[in-house]
Structure 1
């Protein structure tokens, strides 16, 4: 039996996910995201060899949200190396991304850099060498995707106005000395970073170094050492989907990062990056349709690393 081409796989996935629409809801705790139509669906595949295939709303920008945590962590690790791990851990949290009780019990040290506490600690590190970490992340992602990107200031303002939990997290960490800058400045920078707008096509291009041993075929430049690339993928596999990471690994079997804007980026090491966007979220804050789409894609292509 002849293997399906990637365009045929994407067309099949688009059919298979139809029953999953309406099973989730957009991130209504951020008012600017609550009004995004739930029926949106886009998917993009960019291979290490240079092929690019898209379907649906793959070129419509959406709010990257927590997916930007991968860019900020990559910047911090490239600049600071293993010193990053003196202020944030590498373990799955087993709790929601904005949980406070575990952070308090562990004396202000976040379990990993992809929960909000860990991302705030990374933002604090970036503030050591730039007054505008969000612009640094935007420009880094733009360089990797070979596109000029923008921060949606309306989303940033909406998120900051409702960032009560993140302010509590930042203040708790400041009390324990995990962050060193003003908690309000850290939270403001983090909210602007999360408001970065990207499309599925742009994200697949930007994440390509994680599929290509640290080399970006788009930028034609080595972005991460191979050792760091493997470690970033390991963190994505174990921590990238918050407290449903085990279920996601069981269903999809790929390193991935989700965001409450409805995007999920998955890495097929050595082969490709697959990005999907659909705004309706499950109770863990991950796209319902996006997870189903990646599960179908992994099954149709046999690309799971597990």
Structure 2
């Protein structure tokens, strides 16, 4: 059976999904992200994939936390995984290519999640960092150099949006108050100020995305997303001054597996002619 593989290579954890030709996930795995150089990471991934799949997939697409050049496939910038910058895994992991991890997650939700019936959608992944992706007229946006959607790097107050509302930022705030679990920021009264700051930053980020893309839906994903359920309607209400019809704000249906499943679907949908000759932006419309 010609299987394909999708990998979500995060700053902390890595998820792998093996998908059959019908789009069914036949195996999946979550483990810590490999350490070392780009080549060492590729070799460790190859071993994990072979063990999980029992054979070598015909194609592997790897979602990474950074901008990926749409023509060369090389990672240009990856602030949360700098050792990957300037690399490609094609030698150490044959039949593989990179995509931005937020793009992979949005593709997964568009193929098998909450975005299946939407024409225009935005994804915000809140994990180690903050990633964003946009789907307009059922096409993923990548831009000339792959940097479309890097809204987490935009200036906000004395830093960036990522500095203010990423999972790492919430972890730092919780630890500063003596809590080991970053989810304490959503429940503990002593963290009310930190909670308010994170909410304000996220609401400003969503306002920026709404103004830029005017989507039907904004999907929240990533490791922190499950804790954001209580914020969905309040976040939507903050968008009313921008538009009388604010987009739906929802949690992703695929959870933490969205990136790996989306990457696998990208691998499944691409033609066999060649990895880098394939344009990953196009997503077929629903009838």
Report the TM-score, using the length of structure 1 for normalisation: 0.28
Which structure features the higher share of strand residues? 2
* Higher relative contact order, chain-length normalized (CA < 8 Å, sep 6+): 1
Which structure features the higher share of helix residues? 1
